[in-house]
Amino acid sequence: MHRRPNPRAELLRQAVAEEAARIMREQGVDDFLLAKRKAAERLGVTDASILPRNREIETAMVAHQRLFDADRHESDLATLRRAALEAMRLLSDFEPRLVGPVLTGTASSHSDISLHVFSESAEAVWLQLAERGVPHEVVERRMRYERDRTVTYPAVRFVAGHLAVDTVVFPLDGIRQAPASPVDGRPMRRAGFAEVEALL
């Protein structure tokens, strides 16, 4: 027998999605689960089955941006994408690809620029930044592929213009298979220089 949806649960789910979207936008939170938990706590929601999917939160973010900040959002996004192109030029030897909210258009002014680069050696990336006098911090990032497979990659953080760039270094063959998007679990969309330029 098909269960009828509970209207109250649906309203709560939508409220949590909107609050999580607000938290991500205003506080620069990029972790969907953390934003969901904060939103649920703020709204007094204790039933985990009511929590929205990441895609619903992203949809709420886009709706809010269109409704309330369309002009500012477009301007912030263009600034982020220009800085992304600057960072991609800097790392052009490593076939850089833009990923994440700056590419999909859901970024806020708090968002980092996320890049994927490809190299036989992560040290080659650090060396290039050092040779060009770019201060940077070497970190690690965990990427999910299937539901139960995550891989840790070397990464580097630096600043392009005045914006933070988070760059994950994949092996050369990593260009063939993108990790899963945190939004919907499908392979992450990646864009090369020409595609990012076309967005501007």
d(CA 73, CA 68): 9
pTM beyond cutoff 0.85: no
- Residue 158 pLDDT greater than 50, yes or no: yes
| Residue boundaries of the structural domains of the chain | 7-68, 71-199
Question: What are 42-88's pLDDT values in tens digits?
Answer: 998 888 888 999 889 888 887 877 776 767 778 888 999 999 999 99
The average confidence (pLDDT) of the chain is 89
Residue pair 62/18 in contact (Cβ under 8 Å)? The answer is no
Q: Which of 66-70, 113-117, 168-172, 186-190 has the lowest mean pLDDT?
A: 66-70
Fold of 71-199: Beta Polymerase; domain 2 (3.30.460)
Query: For residue 150, what pLDDT band results from cuts at 50, 70 and 90?
Result: very high
Tokens in use for 17? 């999605």
**pLDDT average, residue stretch 89-103:** 96
Residue pair 180/110 in contact (Cβ under 8 Å)? The answer is no
- Residue 138 pLDDT greater than 90, yes or no: yes
